[in-house]
Amino acid sequence: MKNNLMFVRQARSVFPVLVAVVITLALGLPAWAALGGDASSIDADSAHMKAAVTVAHTDNYEVHEMKAAGGTVVKEFVSPSGRVFAVAWHGPFMPELQQILGSYFQQYSTALQSQQKHYGRAPLNLQLPGLVVQEGGHMRSYVGRAYVPEMLPQGTKVDEIR
């Protein structure tokens, strides 16, 4: 009986710590409508960035533009099916690419590591199977875009992603 009471006391002291860890991990997860993802979380994106959102409609897609307080603008291009087929950014700070590239970030990261060192202001142009990432600029003036060619809605030109 004494051993059982000691186990209950230990469990009670560990439980609040476990709850705190679970809550911390859940709150720390990114809530971005990342490339290839569902557009339903765009409201969470704007809250994360503390950004104002405007939506523009074209015949082929919607553009959800978020402008952060620091001046960086992130655009998410959403197909009629509700999927984010492209993202673009410009501004004084780089956005968190791991968040906006979502599941494509690993492919992007691996491609960067396999390339020769990227020095200076030379633009980056990664043409990967199923993913294109183009970025450039310099301190306080960054620009870039990423898109999944197979996901572009019919009639959409790549030059429209900016």
pLDDT at 1: 55
- Whole-structure pTM value: 0.75
Q: Which residues of 48-58 are buried (b: 16+ CB within 10 A; e: fewer)?
A: bbebebeeeee
Q: What is the pLDDT of residues 54-98, one digit of tens each?
A: 999 999 999 999 998 889 999 999 999 999 999 999 999 988 898
**Domain boundaries of the chain, sorted by first residue:** 1-30, 39-160
Residue 17 or 33, more confident: 33
Cβ contact 136:89 at 8 Å? no
pLDDT at 147: 97
